[in-house]
Structure 1
Amino acid sequence: MSVNVVKRFQGNITAGDHPYLQGPWAPLHEEINADELVVLEGQVPTDIDGVYLRNTQNPLHQALERYHPFDGDGMVHMASFRDGKVQYRNRFIKTKGMLAEIESGERLWAGLMEDPRLSKRPGWGAHGALKDASSTDVVVHAGKALTTYYQCGEGYRMDPLTLEETETPPWSPEDGISAHTKVDEHSGEMLFFNYSKQPPYMHYGVVDRSDSLVHYTPIPLPGPRLPHDMAFTENFAILNDFPLHWDPDLLERGKHVVRFYKDKPSRFAVIPRRGGPEDIQWFEADPTFVLHFLNAYEEGDEVVLDGYFQENPMPTNYEGALPGYERMMSYLDQYKMGSKLHRWRFNLKTGKTREERLDERILEFGMINQKYGGRPYRYGYSAVQVPGWFVFNGYVKHDMQTGESWQVQLPEGEFASEAPFVPRINAKDEDDGYLVTFVTNENTGKSEVILIDSKDFEAGPVCRVQLPHQIAAGTHSCWANGVDFRDGGILARAAMEG
């Protein structure tokens, strides 16, 4: 393995007894390039070409009072696969907030669990006082990787291979960009939303394949909400208004306290992809909160939406948690929230909603073959969380047509990440490919990248490749095919020609 340490960053963060500053969540403060990675087990397939990108949280500076893992500074990790070889590199996302804190040598912004009045400078996003860490999500669009923050921020773009930063998108709106932008591989468009504490409280936008903002419209809501994800079909975007949001009375007093209003319905906005407020068709459904959707598609007069329904969106405090962190630990535990794979059907003619449960297991962080995003699909892949801990130790493959499923479990002491689907070159069908994920191996104190063959799912990893250091667990990831960004690929050419 050839390793080049690019830079080591100095901060004043200390782990103490904080559960999300150690173990698989221990922050990483070095940037490296690594070639000729060592294959520990199996053989790296030669029939894939592209990059796996993962966003993680790695705080440099001590919290003002109480640290939440989503406050950490964003860092992207890249594993490039080509001709049976794997390269790796990682880079901090050098946001305006991170650079300001490096210059000052201390934390300048309050975190999710802290009084926003503690912030020493104006903040970003829907909350208004937080640092835009750009640490939640990452996608590849128009030949560039785009990182985003779930409370909305400016977004930051990087080269998907070198991870060299470019700039914030010139089209980034005043209310920012939420995490969970959606890239439609058929049209090359990227769909996004944002939310704020000012009317109309939500907007929805479309960026075309040449990276131009071509549509931006309000999605009027009754008040400030906390949407986390969206979905799309061939002709529609689907946004939401869930009854889990800031308490409006306390919000008027500057307190950001989340409540679940179980007597209010969930509401879904189905809007034509280039439609305006007058074109929205609202559908009501059982009260819940959905952190992530799996996919959506059109079937006759219906829009079908699959996602992870929370049976208990406002769980009780976590027993035995570090004092002051009881609520945080509960909201990071999918078992406490009862997250289960669910289906909604919205009839565009009758305005009625039908719902059904697809799996009774606790599952979340689903992935599909992105070629089938917004289209009828057969296979989905869900992550299995470790009870009480925001890390994963297995995956479930779902056959959405037959109801069959297959599960793979990692060995004791190994914790995985969100695992996107990697299509084989010249794939023959929808599940002709692999899942790819980083694994933190607490037994060795390092991390690996593994591939699981979707056609032989329960056999486990077909290869394990050693990374030179241990990476933090983090949240979201993506796969991008090399043809779309390498050597003037289709989407990269479109961006340059636009």
Structure 2
Amino acid sequence: MKLFRHPPVVTSLKPSNHPYLTGAWTPLHEEVDAEDLEVIEGVVPTDIAGIYVRNTENQVHQPLGRHHPFDGDAMLHRIEFSNGRVRYGNRFVRTRCFAAEQEAGESLWGGLADPVSTAKRPGFGAHGAIKDSASTDVVVHAGKILATFYQCGEAYQIDPDTLEDLGVAPWAPIDGVSAHCKVDETTGELLFFNYSKHPPYMHYGVVGADGRLKSYVPVALPGPRLPHDMAFTEHYSILNDLPTFWDERLLERDIHAVRFHDSLPSRFAVIPRHGGAEDIRWFEAAPCYALHFVNAYEDGDEIVVDGYFQEEPTPGPLAEGAVAGHEHLMAYLDMHSFKSRLHRWRFNLRTGETVEQRLSDRIVEFGMMNARHAGKPYRYVYSVTAKPGWFLFNGFVKHDLLTGETTELMLEEGRYASEAPFAPRIGAVDEDDGYLISFVIDENRGTSECILVDAKDLAAGPVCRIALPHKISSGTHAVWADRSVVDTGRAD
């Protein structure tokens, strides 16, 4: 392995027994570039070309208060596949908050679970008192990686080949950009939303393939809400107003406590992709919360949206298996506590009716699909399973939406995966002709690796395992971008 280490970052983090600062969540502070990685098992395929990028949470400084795993600083891990060769690199995202804390040598903001008064400086995003870490999501658009924060941060651009910091996206509005921007590979457009504590409480925007803002539309809500994701079809975008949001009475005292208002319906806004506020149509559905949507498409008069329906969005503290003092935190991060299952909503544009359907009884989340079918009818969803009581992924489930069948690949105890995007084979014809790709943290050996799994045969296990030069920390989202997508919009 050829390895180059970059100068270390400044850290004030102390040893801890916090469940999300240890084990698979142990922060990584090392930045490297590596080539000629060791292939532990199998052969690296020659029929894919592109990059896999994962965003991870890495707390750099000693927390000012209670620590939530989503407080950690963003570190992107990138691995490139080209003609059977692989190249790896990782970098912190140099947000303004990261730079400020590096200069100060300490934390300047509290975390998601801390009172507003904890912050030493004014905060960012919808919450208003926490740092913009850009550590939630990652996509590739207009020839750049885009890292975003779920509480609506500034949206940071990174070079997809060098991981060089390119600063805040020039089109990003003052109210920020939420995680889960959507890239339509057919048009090259990026669709995004944001939310805040002031009217109209939400906006929806479209950025062209050239990286320029094309539209920015107010979406009026009854009050502050906590939308986390959106969906799109060929002609429409779908936003949401779900009844899991900050307690309004406590919010008046600047206390950000999330409540499930189960007496309110879920509401979905359907807007033409390039439409205005006057074009929005609202549809009501059963009360729930949905962190993530997989895909949406048009079916005659209907908009079909698939995502993960949470039956108990605000669960009680874990009764068993939790680290003492962290019972409530661990429950809120546990799929088995909030009970997320693959679900379908149908919104009839002619009648205004909503029809709902459970697609699977499995407790799963973080679904991926073949991005070439985004916004269009599709057949396969690839979800992850989780270790009960923990925010750690321990397996993959392939859902065949045509037959209802599922197949799975479970990891051995102590091995934890990343969100696993679909990487199409070069020249692929079938929707599932390609690989699932994931980084795996092996707590048994204290290592990390990249695995590729044949999407047609999950049960067969990895077709190859590639050793990474260090053990990475866990995190949330990841993306695969074909080489053609990476190169789109880049200067010659």
TM-score if structure 1 supplies the norm length? 0.97
The separation in 1 between residues aligned to 2:265 and 2:413, in whole angstroms, is 41
Distance 1:144 1:27 in 2: 25
Q: Which residue of the partner structure matches residue 446 of structure 1?
A: 447
Partner residue of 1:145? 145
Q: Specify the alignment match of 1:360 in structure 2.
A: 361
The aligned residue for residue 240 of structure 2 is 240
Any residues of structure 2 matched to 1:107-146 within 5 Å, and which?
A: 107-146=107-146
After TM superposition, the structure 1 = structure 2 runs for residues 256-267 of structure 1, keeping only pairs within 5 Å, are 256-267=256-267
Q: Runs of at least 4 residues of structure 1 off by over 6 A?
A: none
* Structure 1 residues 322-348: Cα deviation after superposition (integer angstroms, max 9, x where no partner): 454222111100000010000000000
Matches within 5 A, 1:286-305: 286-305=286-305
Q: Deviations over 1:212-234 (max 9, x none)?
A: 00010011000000000000000
User: For each residue in 1:450-476, what CA deviation from the matched residue of structure 2 results, as whole angstroms up to 9, or x when unmatched?
Assistant: 000012221010000000100011000
Aligned partner letter, 1:279: D
What is the one-letter code of the residue matched to 2:387? V
| Contact persistence 1:7–1:32 (CA under 8 A) | no
String of CA shifts for 1:128-169, please: whole Å, max 9, x gaps: 011000000000000000000000010111111210111211
Q: Is the 8 A contact 1:423 1:434 kept in 2?
A: yes
Q: How far, CA to CA, are the matches of 1:254 and 1:356 in structure 2?
A: 38
Whether the 8 Å CA contact 2:65–2:118 is kept in 1: the answer is no
Determine what percentage of the aligned residue pairs are the same residue: 59
Q: Which amino acid aligns with 1:355?
A: E
CA distance in 1, matches of 2:330, 2:161: 35
Q: CA deviation at 1:277?
A: 1.5
Q: Which moved more, 1:250-259 or 1:298-307?
A: 250-259
SS at 2:166's partner residue? coil
- Distance in 1, matches of 2:205 and 2:413, equals 43
Structure-2 residue corresponding to 1:7: 7
Structure 1 distance, partners of 2:10, 2:269, is 45
Work out the CA distance in 2 between the residues paired with 1:492 and 1:331. Answer: 40
1:427 aligns with 2:428: yes
SS of aligned partner of 2:165: coil
Q: Which amino acid aligns with 1:259?
A: R
CA drift at 1:90? 0.2
Aligned to 2:161: 161
Alpha-carbon shift at residue 490 of structure 1 (Å): 3.3
Cα RMSD after superposing both structures: 1.0
Cross-structure match for 1:331: 332
| Structure 1, unaligned runs of 5 or more | none
User: Which residue pairs with 1:49 in the alignment?
Assistant: 49
The number of equivalent residue pairs is: 491
Q: CA deviation at 1:429?
A: 1.4
Aligned counterparts of 2:317 and 2:146: Cα–Cα separation in 1: 35
Letter in 2 for 1:87: R
Cα shift readout 1:278-300 (whole Å, capped 9, x = no counterpart): 11110000000000001000000
Task: Write out aligned runs for 1:75-114 (5 A).
Answer: 75-114=75-114
Alignment-derived partner of residue 202 in structure 1: 202
Query: Per-residue displacement from partner, 1:2-53 (whole Å, max 9, x unpaired)?
Result: 1111122231112421001111110000100010000000000000000000
Residue 179 of structure 1 pairs with residue 179 of structure 2: yes
Q: In the alignment, residue 430 of structure 1 is paired with which amino acid? A: E
Q: Is the 8 A contact 1:484 1:492 kept in 2?
A: no
Q: Give the partner amino acid of 2:489.
A: L
Q: Distance in 1 between matches of 2:30 and 2:408?
A: 35
2:347–2:353 CA contact under 8 A, matched in 1:
yes
CA contact (8 A) 2:441 2:472 kept: yes
- Give the structure 1 partner of residue 341 of structure 2: 340
Equivalent in the alignment of 2:285: 285
What is the aligned partner in structure 1 of residue 474 from structure 2? 473
3-state SS of the aligned residue for 2:394?
strand
Aligned match of 2:379 = 378
Q: Which residue of 1 aligns with 2:490?
A: 492
Matched, 1:402 2:403: yes
In the aligned structure 2, how far is the partner of 1:260 from the partner of 1:164? 41
How far residue 275 of structure 1 moved from its aligned partner, in angstroms, is: 1.1
Conserved 8 A contact 2:37-2:87: yes
Report the secondary structure of 1:94's partner residue. Answer: coil
Question: How far, CA to CA, are the matches of 1:90 and 1:275 in structure 2?
Answer: 39
What amino acid is the match of 2:451?
I
Paired amino acid for 2:346: R
8 Å Cα contact 2:11/2:60 also seen in 1: yes
Contact 1:136 1:149 (C-alpha < 8 Å) held by counterparts: yes
Residue 63 of structure 1 corresponds to 63
Following TM superposition, by how much is the alpha carbon of 1:313 offset from its aligned partner in structure 2, in angstroms? 0.7
Deviation of 1:77 after TM superposition, in Å, equals 0.2
**In structure 2, how many angstroms separate the alpha carbons of the residues matched to 1:256 and 1:316?**
17
Q: Aligned equivalents of 1:7 and 1:453: distance in 2?
A: 37
Counterpart CA distance in 1 for 2:479 and 2:165 is 18
**CA distance in 2: counterparts of 1:441 and 1:394, whole angstroms:** 13
Give the TM-score, by structure 2 length. 0.98
